[in-house]
Amino acid sequence: MQVEERVLTEALHRVDAEPGTGDAAWFAARQPGVIKYLEDRLGRDDTMGVALMAAFAIHAAFEKTLGVPPPRVPASAFERAEDDVGAEARAGAPAFVARQQALAAYIAGVVAAPPVPLAEDSAGRLGLVLAAIVQAFDRTVS
């Protein structure tokens, strides 16, 4: 199941236009594994905030594509996905990049131009974490 660029654009608009609604709270309640994974990997600084909004947008894109919210994903699935993304990157390119081109481009854009300044090492961690989130959701719904 591929998330199309048009669907991602609609999801991003929803996240940007409605950040004060209960959607973000619902996301945190529905996907506590994402929150735990982000906290474990990024702590509670600006990088975590950027990653949380991006993860919310990724989740919204999968939801729009599926027509229903993706199933709950445990933090351990994100950790496994991170290991896989790292191994695939060392071997050439992560497999999800070919399947989820719009999401891969979105991640690259967030890392290249985050909404707040991030340290260089934070940008690399941010990219890996977001790639793992896409990989884990992709596996869960495929």
DSSP structure class, residue 2: P
Integer CA distances (angstroms), 17 to 10, 21, 25, 71, 140, in order: 10, 9, 15, 24, 28
Residue 79 pLDDT: 95
Q: What is the pLDDT of residues 98-120, one digit of tens each?
A: 889 999 999 999 999 999 998 87
Residue 39 pLDDT: 94
Angle, CA of 76, 80 and 83, to the nearest 5°:
140
Residue 26 pLDDT: 84
Q: How many helices (H) and strands (E) does the chain have?
A: 8, 0
- Written as one string, the DSSP assignment of 76-89 is HHHHHHHHHHHHHH
Q: What is the pLDDT of residues 41-54, one digit of tens each?
A: 998 889 999 999 99
Taking Cα atoms as reference points, which of 49, 72, 48 lies closest to residue 59? 72
Report whether 54 contacts 107 (CB < 8 A): yes
Residue 12 pLDDT: 81
Angle, CA of 101, 102 and 107, to the nearest 5°:
95
Q: What is the pLDDT of residues 26-85, one digit of tens each?
A: 888 999 999 999 999 998 889 999 999 999 999 999 999 999 999 999 999 999 999 999
Six-digit token pair at 86?
């790292």
Answer yes or no: is pLDDT of 20 > 70. Answer: no
